[in-house]
Chains A and B, each alone.
Chain A
Amino acid sequence: GAVVSQHPSRVICKSGTSVKIECRSLDFQATTMFWYRQFPKKSLMLMATSNEGSKATYEQGVEKDKFLINHASLTLSTLTVTSAHPEDSSFYICSARGPLRSYGYTFGSGTRLTVV
């Protein structure tokens, strides 16, 4: 199989603090991982592409300094929401291409972030 683990599943933080979300590929190596954001009843919007050993590629309109992405190994990518504000509250999901094309993309279970 191709399993992606994402933690935490839920987090509540105060405005101004930072939150780190981890995304791990458990049984395969992922040189590229993707971070999406999803608002209620909306589609998944690509935020950035995380590349192992190099800088992430951000989508237009996504603040690089606010959403820090680090892909330090072939199995781990992290997204840090810095100086969080209530408008950052959302569902964040990571994904990676499976080890075989036929596997499609495998998604983590998502992180529900609430900033109060």
Chain B
Amino acid sequence: QQPVQSPQAVILREGEDAVINCSSSKALYSVHWYRQKHGEAPVFLMILLKGGEQKGHEKISASFNEKKQQSSLYLTASQLSYSGTYFCGTERNSNNDMRFGAGTRLTVKP
């Protein structure tokens, strides 16, 4: 039930781009994206509900494919503050609990 997330880790220089992927073997009700800083709780970034949906704020955006089995998080022109571990969370239906991917550790260097 846990989604598959890749890559495990990414190291970037400021200004570079990154893509993080999250996939499921079955169609999903929703995909959530969270960022967690060390020792802190995860912070909600966005939720995608519709197949083919794309959503974003500032330089962080995400897509949800038509089959609702795969989502990608796009980080463009990365900043130092983007460093942290990114998790996708997936729900199978509206009443379901959320399961998290293994996480992607993103490090942005000056």
Contacts and interface: CB of A to CB of B under 8 A. Distances in A.
A110 B38 CA distance: 12
A104 B50 CA distance: 15
A41 B56 CA distance: 27
Interface of B: 2, 30, 32, 34, 39-47, 49, 87, 89, 97-103, 105
Interface of A: 6, 34, 36, 41-46, 49, 93, 95, 98, 101-110, 112
Contacts of B89: 105
B44 A106 contact: yes
B103 A43 contact: yes
Given A34-B98, A43-B100, A46-B97, A104 B32 contact: yes
Choose among A41, A44, A108 the residue with the greatest number of B CB atoms under 10 Å from its CB. A44
B49 to A, nearest CB: 7
B49 A101 contact: yes
Given A42-B103, A44-B42, A44-B87, 4 more contacts: A44-B100, A101-B47, A110-B39, A110-B40
